[in-house]
Structure 1
Amino acid sequence: MSGAVRQIDVTTDPGTHYFLHVDFAVNLSCGFNLTLSDGISAWKGEVSENEVKREANVMEVPMESYVEDLQQVLMGGGQKRREIYSFRLDLDCLQLSYHKMCDHVSVRLGSLKLRPTPDPVLLIREMIGQSLKHSTEMEKENLLLLEENCKLKEEHAQILKELEHHVQDKETMTRELYTHFVTVLNEKKTRIRSLQDAVRPCANVQKKQRENPVPPDEDDSPDTITETVQSSYSSLEPTFPITGHDQVSQGFSLDHTMSLDENVQPRWKSTQSIDDQSPGTTEME
């Protein structure tokens, strides 16, 4: 015998406690053997693979879903599963059926015929032994889980200590950075104030000049400035005589009337005097 033995409640006989044991090779979809006892009598039953498939087809549900329901009703679950699944036993027909509540409606998942065992005491003894064996295995597994839980608690406590240490380091670093930031900020504020104090007199002077503009002097008028510049330029020019040819080359116009009268007449007189003197010279020769 393998597997676990569990206590079930039968709705048709609520005052009696029944013990159910299910044994299967691979999984419930391949069929299973069932043993039922009330502590005095014992019964056995079998469900084949074909019967499992037929029940799934009758309910029109997938095989996986139907096998999951069989797992819950036969192998057990929690208190909630007891409310959803139930058993009915007919001792007259020796038939056990198992049901599931769906929207307050009881749906039959399956049933099997039971047959009495010739030696119920031996079968009950086997069921008790299997229960003790399963209890021992569960106890060992529970001890392993407790040890692992203790290790996890120790690791958790160590992690909490490290976390607290990191939090303290973080708070210390935050305070140091804040102190350094405040120091730098105060230095910047002091520097800004000194710059503002240095710039404020100039700003006040400019403000006063805008509010009280100084009237310009007469010597500073545009005409006076232009005359001064022209005179300065004329004083810088060299002084030398300019001939008529130079004036023409420089683009200046000449008064030819005055120049011809003044220059030609003296030259004509000198020529005439020379002509007058030439005959006397010949006579002397």
Structure 2
Amino acid sequence: MTSPNTTVTSRSTEITSGSRERTAQQLTDLAPGVGKMEKTLNRIHPVSDPEATYFLQVSWEKDLGTGFGLLLSDCQCAWTGTVSESDISREAADIEMEREKYVEELRKALIAGEESAGKYNFVISRDEQNKACHFSYERNLKDGSFRLGSLKLQEVPNPAEVIKELIGYCLDSLGKLQAKTEHLQRENERLFSNWSEVEKRLEKCVEAKEELEADLYSRFVLVLNEKKAKIRNLQKLLSEAKESAADAKCARDSIAATQVVVKRENNYDASTDEESENPARASLPSAPERRDSSLLGSPDIVDPAPRRKRRQRTAKPAGTGAKVAAYEAEQPAQENSRYNPRICSLSISVGSAPGGAGIYPNGAVRRG
């Protein structure tokens, strides 16, 4: 037998389950494709009350320009609404903006979240019974702002289901992020392992490279030393060749000089042979010189002047004293001219030689 309390509890559970199903159906009707569409959840602060916090969920299919649904909640109440593709086109025409650019502005305002904080404002106004909520979004400018769009949101009968949906979305997003983080962590570990292996291989390559460089350097040193030795040998051979060439040149020069000297000697010998063949011609000019020198140096020739003076002194003709004085005055001049090498001619006269003989300055003998 069941108690009344048990029956009441079962009925309340059935009622609660039925209300949850109806709330989920309403959310599906107001935001088509809920659970199948892409969603984002952002935290916003209205301009009228910056301290208040609202949670805004945006859901869309394929592209934001084809329409989207909004779900707004302050954790006590919840409101929902939709924006169709025609509404987006009408709003773009009202503010005279291209549709693509307008859709991009909507994406930044409703989806970007913290990335566009401070660039967009949100205005939320509710009625007294919280049955409806007017929601609008604006773009800030330097000298003001202009409205991008607005819509009227309807109250959700069961806000707890909305909050539960939001919490579920947050948990699902958190799970996805954790799974992605774990995947990235495993990928990071794999990359780190690969990096460690690559680093070890790189170290081995560096060691092999250093060993190869050392081996190549040692071989290069050997080759370089051999080349240096060959260069030194070639330089030595070149210097020896230059020295031998210089010696050969000196030998040729000495031979040529010797030949010139021999030729001159031969010419000199030939000239001396010609002179020896004609001794008479060579001795003719020297006879008068020997005669002159014999005559000049002969002691047999005596100056007749003293004898003449003695004869004159004995006879003492008239004018003899004057002649003797003149002769004695001329006698020192004649002696000086005989021994002076600058005087080129010698004049000797014999006044009273036997037979009337005399000697001319050129060496000829005058006979009386």
Task: Give the shorter-chain TM-score range.
Answer: 0.5 to 0.7
Amino acid at match of 1:32: F
Is 1:133 aligned to residue 168 of structure 2?
A: no
Offset, 1:60: 4.4
1:143-182 to 2 correspondences below 5 Å: 143-182=182-221
Q: Deviations over 1:239-265 (max 9, x none)?
A: xxxxxxxxxxxxxxxxxxxxxxxxxxx
Is 1:123 aligned to residue 162 of structure 2?
A: yes
Q: Structure 1 residues 84 and 155 mapped into 2: Cα distance closer, same or farther (>3 Å)?
A: farther
SS in 2 for 1:166: helix
Does the Cα contact within 8 Å between 1:4 and 1:131 map onto a contact in 2? no
- Paired with 1:104 and 1:190, the residues of 2 have a C-alpha distance of 88
Offset, 1:192: 1.3
- Paired with 2:142 and 2:221, the residues of 1 have a C-alpha distance of 69
- Paired with 2:51 and 2:92, the residues of 1 have a C-alpha distance of 32
- Paired with 2:120 and 2:211, the residues of 1 have a C-alpha distance of 60
Aligned to 1:70: 106
Work out which of the residue numbers 22, 26, 41 in structure 2 matches 1:5.
41
Q: Structure 1 residues 161 and 115 mapped into 2: Cα distance closer, same or farther (>3 Å)?
A: same
- Paired with 1:191 and 1:104, the residues of 2 have a C-alpha distance of 88
Aligned to 1:185: 224
Q: Deviations over 1:5-60 (max 9, x none)?
A: 32222232211111111122332111111010011111112211011122333444
Tell me which moved more, 178-187 or 165-174.
165-174
Work out which of the residue numbers 98, 103, 127 in structure 1 matches 2:137.
98
Amino acid at match of 2:126: L
Q: Deviations over 1:209-255 (max 9, x none)?
A: 5578333525999xxxxxxxxxxxxxxxxxxxxxxxxxxxxxxxxxx
- Paired with 1:109 and 1:220, the residues of 2 have a C-alpha distance of 128
Unpaired segments of 5 or more residues in structure 1?
222-285
Is 1:56 aligned to residue 92 of structure 2?
A: yes
Tell me which moved more, 106-115 or 205-214.
205-214
SS in 1 for 2:117: helix
Work out which of the residue numbers 60, 65, 69 in structure 2 matches 1:24.
60
- Paired with 2:80 and 2:200, the residues of 1 have a C-alpha distance of 59
Amino acid at match of 2:152: K
- Paired with 1:62 and 1:153, the residues of 2 have a C-alpha distance of 48
- Paired with 1:170 and 1:104, the residues of 2 have a C-alpha distance of 67
Aligned to 1:265: none
- Paired with 1:154 and 1:101, the residues of 2 have a C-alpha distance of 49
Offset, 1:201: 1.9
Aligned identity (percent) is 34
| Higher RCO (Cα < 8 Å, 6 or more apart) | 1
Q: Give the superposed CA RMSD.
A: 2.8
Q: Structure 1 residues 129 and 80 mapped into 2: Cα distance closer, same or farther (>3 Å)?
A: closer
Does the Cα contact within 8 Å between 1:100 and 1:107 map onto a contact in 2? yes
1:182-261 to 2 correspondences below 5 Å: 182-207=221-246, 213-214=253-254, 215=256, 217=259
SS in 1 for 2:54: strand
Aligned to 1:40: 76
Does the Cα contact within 8 Å between 1:86 and 1:100 map onto a contact in 2? yes
SS in 2 for 1:113: strand
TM-score (norm 2): 0.53
Tell me which structure has the larger Cα radius of gyration: 2
Q: Deviations over 1:178-224 (max 9, x none)?
A: 22111101111011111221231221232355578333525999xxx
Is 1:85 aligned to residue 120 of structure 2?
A: yes
Q: Structure 1 residues 119 and 180 mapped into 2: Cα distance closer, same or farther (>3 Å)?
A: same
- Paired with 1:91 and 1:144, the residues of 2 have a C-alpha distance of 44
Aligned to 2:341: none
Work out which of the residue numbers 131, 152, 162 in structure 2 matches 1:113.
152
TM-score (norm 1): 0.67
Does the Cα contact within 8 Å between 1:55 and 1:109 map onto a contact in 2? yes
Aligned to 2:23: none
Q: Structure 1 residues 194 and 103 mapped into 2: Cα distance closer, same or farther (>3 Å)?
A: farther
Amino acid at match of 1:82: A
- Paired with 1:102 and 1:117, the residues of 2 have a C-alpha distance of 34
- Paired with 1:104 and 1:152, the residues of 2 have a C-alpha distance of 51
